[in-house]
Amino acid sequence: QKATLSGQIRLNQIGFYPSGPKVAVVAAEAGNTFYITTIDLRKTVFTGKLTEPRTSEFSAKKTRIADFSALTTPGSYVVYIPEIGHSYPFEIKSKVHQEVAKASIKGFYFQRISTPLPEQYAGKWQRPAGHVQEDTQVLIHPSAATTQRPEGTKISAPLGWYDAGDYNKYIVNSGITTGTLLSLYEDFPTYFDTLKLNIPESNNNLPDLLDETLWNLRWMLAMQDPNDGGVYHKLTNPRFDGMVMPEEAKNPRYVVQKSTPAALDFAAVMAQASRIARKFPQALPGLADSCLTAATRAWDWARQNPAVLYDQEALNKQYDPDVSTGAYGDKDVTDEFIWAASELYITTKKDSYYQAVPIFPDTQMPLPSWAQVRLLGYYTLARFEKDLTPVAKKDFPQLRKQLVQFADELTDGASKRSYATVMGKSAKDYIWGSSAVAANQGIALIQVYRLTGDKKYLDYALINLDYLVGRNATGFSFVTGFGDKTPMHPHHRPSIADQVEEPVPGLLSGGPNANAPRQDKCTTYTSTIADETFTDDDCSYASNEIAINWNAPLAYLASAIEALQSK
Ligand code: 9MR
């Protein structure tokens, strides 16, 4: 009998709700009976049978499922299988994901630009302000030069969040991120009325989630050219910085060419922010109007410039300095038009926005990502179902049907998969940033739960949260600082360059990516199986970086589940 820790028993390393589903996955064939015991293994509180072995979708590996949903007594436990050993400890308690939900939003605070992070809020990850020069010294790149703002003009565009493990700021990626956080607020306002994150604004009279989101929104506003309403694609160094702390990264920074996706993502976010700011006239005087003006000007620019794409290679042939940082080079703006039109329509109630573009070009529901924002528009239409005018109301049954169908496709066969998760239906789920695939699937399921009231969708969403914090083929909890086996070496410059052993907490690692070894050329991968291709190594920007557009859906999923479970 083995009383030792086994990494082969994989489960949510944080824990479970007393009356919620509880599953562990055993990545081995041995054993028949499992026990839930106290952490010292002395007292057994539940005994169950493992399922028959099932074969992985991606390899010949076998897994067995241990379902202990019937155990409802709060406490701290392990799963114990005499032939294998015991799992990491976990808890059964109410509000079990509250801390991870808070930390995933606090993660954005740690990414803040233009401000020091003092110990009071940042603990041992305190650090000086980074990129203070952005207050006055951002250069107009030749690709962005106009008569009013010729090459070399200096503009001010401070604040915002660092995109990821790098220090640049990209409008396209900020768009989906900020939109996701604003939607989180709009979907669960009461939950956020009281949720405190210990950030500098925690004592003002705005919800902390909105305070944090505004930090980025204010930067985004500065990315609009006041002369024509167009929006610069990104604010960046020509090349990625070395592994230094933010305050040591002092290379010149530029805003580059305006683009249609940037303008539309910006328009969508500003339209959404406008209707939220409207609810806080005292705390945010004038902001609702500023955001709406910004949104309509960006929209008008995009309508006049509907196909200005950001093609970094082409620009590098034409202009100096060459830029080699993240491109976020979206080539299809159909979905950006849908998102911006939906947000502007809901905020202004003007049918002209809804009618400006085909809102339903087809019946596909592409999962949200930085390049695919159609569903963000659909979520908003669904959220405001009661406020729809007749033109949109007549489409609503179709929208509802498509969303429910999408959720049913996602969950189809989930319980039979090797980890019994929604995530992993196909190897295509394991792309760069696969953790956000899991989290965005979770959001889609929560949207459909809100539409239908059918609890199975909420349970499926929770399963993908289980996936993210340990119930997966790597055995990692992908959220830094949460769980016993969690990334210690994410590709995240502050976490690498500070003298602190633990990485900055609350950040979501990208997760397994079948192509990662070819993309980042790290040599420490130990598997090439799609759901296992992950390495906790800071060279691995293709499997172990963190990014704001991954943290936002994590924040949504964990917070939504908390908000809905406590009901
Ligand atoms: O998340 C992005 C992924 O979808 C792309 O395949 C990849 C390569 O272009 O870039 C990812 O985004 C990175 C961005 O370009 C720069 N900052 C870090 C982002 C996360 O790795």
**Ligand 1: which of 111, 234, 240, 328 to mutate, most ligand atoms within 8 Å of CB?**
328
Give the active site residues.
Answer: 536, 545
From the CA of 165, give the closest atom in ligand 1.
18
**DSSP per residue, 123-156:** GGG-B----GGGGT-EEEPGGG--SSS-TT-EE-
Question: What's the gap in Å between 206 CA and the centre of ligand 1?
Answer: 32
Cα–Cα dist 277/218, whole Å: 13
Query: How is the beta sheet containing 154-155 ordered, strand by strand?
Result: 154-155, 138-140, 254-255, 234-236, 169-170
Cα–Cα dist 317/205, whole Å: 50
**Strand ranges in 107-265 using DSSP code E only, listed in sequence order:** 138-140, 154-155, 169-170, 234-236, 254-255
**Unique residue bearing structure tokens 């915002």:** 160
Cα–Cα dist 220/265, whole Å: 10
Token pair listed for 10: 């994989």
Q: Which residues line ligand 1 (CB under 6 A)?
A: 163-164, 166, 326-327, 432-433, 541, 545, 547
Asked whether the beta carbons of 439 and 557 are under 8 A apart, the reply is yes
Cα–Cα dist 314/143, whole Å: 11
pTM value is 0.98
Question: What's the gap in Å between 522 CA and the centre of ligand 1?
Answer: 16
Longest dimension (CA), the chain: 78
Name the residue at shortest CA distance from atom 13 of ligand 1.
326
Cα–Cα dist 157/164, whole Å: 18
| Spans of the chain, pLDDT less than 50 | 567
CATH 2.60.40.10 fits 9-92, yes or no: yes
Question: What's the gap in Å between 49 CA and the centre of ligand 1?
Answer: 43
Where do the domains of the chain lie? 9-92, 98-473+546-565
Phi, psi of 363 (to 5 degrees): -100, 10
Name the residue at shortest CA distance from atom 14 of ligand 1.
326
Phi, psi of 408 (to 5 degrees): -70, -35
From the CA of 369, give the closest atom in ligand 1.
4
Q: How far is CA 567 from the centre of its chain?
A: 24
**Ligand 1: which of 432, 507, 513 to mutate, most ligand atoms within 8 Å of CB?**
432
Query: Which are the contacts of 362, defined by CB distance < 8 A and separation ≥ 6?
Result: none
Asked whether the beta carbons of 543 and 534 are under 8 A apart, the reply is yes
Closest CA to 251 of 315, 299, 323, 189: 323
* Residue 566: predicted pLDDT: 57
Asked whether the beta carbons of 535 and 526 are under 8 A apart, the reply is yes
* Residue 31: predicted pLDDT: 87
**DSSP per residue, 482-546:** SSSS--SS-B-HHHHHSS-SSPPTT-BB----TTHHHHH--S-----SGGG-----TT-TTTSBB
Cα–Cα dist 374/359, whole Å: 9
Question: What's the gap in Å between 105 CA and the centre of ligand 1?
Answer: 20
**DSSP per residue, 348-387:** H--HHHHHHS-S-SSS--PPPBTTB-HHHHHHHHHHTGGG
- DSSP-derived pairing of the beta strands 254-255 and 85-86: unpaired
* Residue 30: predicted pLDDT: 86
Strand partners of residue 161: 112
* Residue 567: predicted pLDDT: 44
Closest CA to 53 of 18, 34, 25: 25
Burial class (CB in 10 A: 0-12, 13-18, 19+), 299: buried
CA pseudo-torsion sign 298, 303, 305, 309: positive
Phi, psi of 310 (to 5 degrees): -95, 110
Question: What's the gap in Å between 25 CA and the centre of ligand 1?
Answer: 31
Q: What share of the chain is helix, strand, coil (3-state, %, to 5)?
A: 40, 15, 45
**DSSP per residue, 334-357:** HHHHHHHHHHHHHHH--HHHHHHS
The interface pTM score, or ipTM, of the predicted complex is 0.99
Single-letter residue type at 518: R
CATH number of 98-473+546-565: 1.50.10.10
Angle formed at CA 481 by CA 512 and CA 438, multiple of 5 degrees = 35
Name the residue at shortest CA distance from atom 6 of ligand 1.
432
From the CA of 542, give the closest atom in ligand 1.
21
Question: What's the gap in Å between 437 CA and the centre of ligand 1?
Answer: 14
From the CA of 433, give the closest atom in ligand 1.
1
Question: What's the gap in Å between 326 CA and the centre of ligand 1?
Answer: 6
Question: What's the gap in Å between 370 CA and the centre of ligand 1?
Answer: 9
Q: Comparing 9-92 with 98-473+546-565, is the CATH topology the same? A: no
